[in-house]
Amino acid sequence: MELSLEAIEATLGEQLASANGRRKARVLTAQALLEAAKEAVDGPLGYAFRHGGEVDDARARTTLALGVRTARGVVLAVAEAGARQVTPARAWPELAPWSQGSPATNLPRCEAWAARPREDRLEFTVARAAPRDDGERLLARVLEAPDDDQARRVYGDHLSERGEPRGEFIAVQCALADLPPAASEREALLAKEAALRSAHEEAWLAALGLDAVTVKWERGFLSEATVLASAVGRLPRGVFEREPLRALRVVDATRDHAELIAAHPALDRLRGLTFTNASGRPERALGPEGAAALLESRHLRALTALAFEGQYLEDTGAMVLAQYGGPVFPRLRRFKVAGDELSSVGAEVLSGARWFRALEGVSLPRNVLRGAEAMASLIDPLAALAWKSLVLDENPLGDEGARALA
């Protein structure tokens, strides 16, 4: 049965009524079940739950719903549970232990739960919509071949014919991309580009459900986005299904956020991922444990650029990345660790990693790389031949280190 409000009411209506019982508080509606199911399908964790509310009373009850993404759609169930410190494990003990601090670790148990045939849980199909019209087909061509400017222009023309400002925006940015820097036409086009962004960007991002701090547009489409770590869990898959977004910058991420990112299936389209610490505080950084959590991902194999800025990785985090990063980032070509207290110890371990030796660009500014020893530990002669860039700004290299680098 295909997921819909009507389908939930028809199949889980009695179960929902039984779970709600005669309570006037801490109840759920069929709409809440639908929202949980949709979040499970579209969200980064692969599961989602809703409850009617919590109360610090061992006798109190609440209604609890759990949805888990499957290959065909979503498994959904609803039950009554204790209202103190509500988690799905309160209703389904096989989900214990339930982790609130590391939500990504709950997924294997949720998937096992969803795979068990039980009368209290039902699977709903969620079909991927086929292109509905010419516009959808033209957009699909852009996403399939993001470097094809002609596909972008054709889609832009289609939008312009429908009176949508995004079409003109695509045309303007494509025209700018074709012009040399000194072309006289650039000034007028830049003014038009700015006017269109000012008038419509907020609506364009809202339609995508993207809660971003800043975004970058290239040839009419989103290419990069900066998001607060707190918004990572709400990063919709629809952004990647309608925009050729290739680079993501995450601000003030912690280990828990790294687990969310690692579990997000839509991120397999990313080419660039940056973690930056705007606060400068260690509690707003990944640390070595966050780096390790990131390495649990199966969705970052397409990355060609990875950067850690002020993440308090230190040598321990560098060692973790060196030892386990190869299978996770097989296509990585540019790597940056900035302001992370990296010393010659961590640099030596990095330089021994096969994936590190295959890089084209290495950036290690604002660390504690000292003297000739640091250079000797870092620069493998064969690897250095392949490097197109090496950035070591603001390290205490000293004269000996500078001579070794030369």
The full DSSP string for 129-149 is: PPP-SHHHHHHHHHHH-TT-H
Q: If DSSP codes are grouped into helix, strand and coil, which group holds residue 353?
A: coil
Angstrom distance (rounded) from CA 259 to CA 197? 33
Of 106, 125, 144, the residue that ends a domain is 125
216 within a domain of the structure (yes/no) = no
118 shares a domain with 267: no
CB of 342 within 8 A of CB of 313? yes
Range of the domain at 391: 246-405
291 shares a domain with 383: yes
pLDDT at 381 over 60: no
CB of 163 within 8 A of CB of 191? no
378 within a domain of the structure (yes/no) = yes
pLDDT at 215 over 90: yes
211 within a domain of the structure (yes/no) = no
147 shares a domain with 272: no
Which H or E run contains 151? helix 149-161
- Express each pLDDT in 289-332 by its tens digit: 999 999 988 888 899 999 999 999 999 999 999 999 999 999 99
35 shares a domain with 11: yes
41-55, 82-96, 272-286, 307-321: segment of lowest average pLDDT: 41-55
103-107, 129-133, 288-292, 367-371: segment of lowest average pLDDT: 129-133
335 shares a domain with 252: yes
196 shares a domain with 54: no
Tokens matching residue 199: 């008038």
Between vectors from CA 169 to CA 163 and to CA 170, what angle results, nearest 5°?
100
Q: Which candidate, 139, 110, 103, places its Cα nearest to that of 238?
A: 139
267 shares a domain with 196: no
When divided into structural domains, the chain yields a total of 3
> Which amino acid is present at 75?
V
Which residues are registered as beta bridge partners of 361?
334, 389
176 shares a domain with 193: yes
174 shares a domain with 107: no
Of 92, 125, 158, the residue that ends a domain is 125
- pLDDT above 70 as % of the chain: 95
Residue 383 maps to which CATH number?
3.80.10.10
138 shares a domain with 101: no
